[in-house]
Amino acid sequence: MAMRVETMPLGMLGTNCYLVWEEEGDGTCAVIDPGDEAVALIRRLESLQLQPRYILLTHGHYDHVGAAAALKEAYPQAQVYLHPADYQAPDSMLFPLRTQLAAVEPYGEGDRLQLGGLTFSVLHTPGHSQGSVTLRCGQALFCGDTLFAGSCGRTDFPGGSMRDMMASLARLGALEGDFHLYPGHMEDSTLSRERMDNPYLLQAMGR
């Protein structure tokens, strides 16, 4: 079945929230990085007649998790996933999630989540934060604040590491084939395009 992806830039920082579902599926979906504007997000889910099964967080910074608690309240059946390194980090940027939402499922390297015929595979890609992940689904990469079109995520926040970022970028660059990139901010891209002209990815790949 075909995968559908809808992008909703949310909040003051325009964080990309992604709704992912099967075109001819049962109406369940994954919500990736519900950063803010819970009311608008819930209204859009209702208009698409979608029910979240998963709320998947690429990392724990406030601009990516701000609507997670409200979304969980509206859809109690949805499971919220976050890498434990970010959920447990002593970082004030995680404040909204830790204080508002206790039921968070851990996921990390090698974990797989099934949504009908779609499989989300978890790649641990630290650098922007210790618990940053990239979610691979078919030929799509939901890479949070690891890889952007023409750039990469900041590493100067608590838990960030340029060394880890370079290793994570090198790993993504080495994936076989091409992928559609859905980053945490700004426009989408493709891995082949970024391999050609993204200076951070090129540096990480030793080119």
Task: Inform me whether the pLDDT recorded for 186 exceeds 60.
Answer: yes
Residues 150-164: tens digit of each pLDDT: 999 999 988 899 999
Specify the DSSP element, H or E, that contains 31: strand 28-32
**Domains of the chain (ranges, CATH numbers):** 3-204 (3.60.15.10)
Q: What are phi and psi of 110, to 5 degrees?
A: 90, -10
Residues 91-117: tens digit of each pLDDT: 656 656 666 777 789 999 999 999 999
The token duo for 158 is 């608590």
pLDDT, residue 100, reads 72
Residues 36-87: tens digit of each pLDDT: 999 999 999 999 999 999 999 999 998 999 999 999 999 999 999 999 999 8
SS3 67: coil
pLDDT, residue 95, reads 56
Residue percentage of the chain with pLDDT more than 90? 86
Is 0.85 topped by the overall pTM?
yes
Task: From 126, 132, 158, 136, select the one nearest 57 (Cα to Cα).
Answer: 132
Q: How confident is the model at residue 32 (pLDDT cuts 50, 70, 90)?
A: very high
Can you spell out the DSSP letters for 82-136? E-HHHHT---GGGHHHHHH----EE--TT-EEEETTEEEEEEE--SSSTT-EEEE
pLDDT, residue 24, reads 86
SS3 23: coil
CB 183 within 8 A of CB 151: no
Task: From 80, 90, 79, 175, select the one nearest 125 (Cα to Cα).
Answer: 175
* Cα 13 from Cα 64, distance rounded (Å): 10
